[in-house]
């Protein structure tokens, strides 16, 4: 995500961000960080679902680095 992109924030998300007392210009950074954390959690859940070994997970991660 580039710093110049505008992100539309739902009222619920905006309220949650305001509760954290973040300046509005840091919303996209915070949302970007949360998305990255969710992606890692989803990846881990999928690896667990398919019972991938550590070696298999590493192969998948290396393959995904290409994209």
**Dihedral sign from CA coordinates of 13, 19, 24, 27:** negative
Q: Is 5 helix (H, G, I), strand (E, B) or coil?
A: coil
pLDDT at 6 over 70: no
* The length of the chain, given as a count of residues: 67
Report pLDDT digits (tens) over 35-53: 888 999 999 999 999 999 9
CB atoms within 10 A of CB 12: 8
Judged against a pLDDT cut of 70, whether residue 5 lies above it is answered with no
Domain ranges of the chain: 11-65
| Dist CA 29 CA 46 (whole Å) | 26
Higher pLDDT, 46 or 27: 46
Segment 7-24, tens digit of pLDDT? 677 788 778 777 777 676
């Amino acid at each position: 995500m580039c710093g110049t992109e505008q992100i539309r924030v739902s009222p619920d998300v905006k309220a949650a961000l305001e509760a954290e007392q973040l300046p509005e210009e840091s919303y996209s950074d915070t949302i970007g960080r949360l998305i990255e954390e969710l992606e890692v959690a989803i990846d881990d859940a999928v690896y667990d679902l398919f019972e991938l070994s550590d070696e298999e997970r590493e192969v998948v991660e290396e393959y995904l680095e290409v994209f």
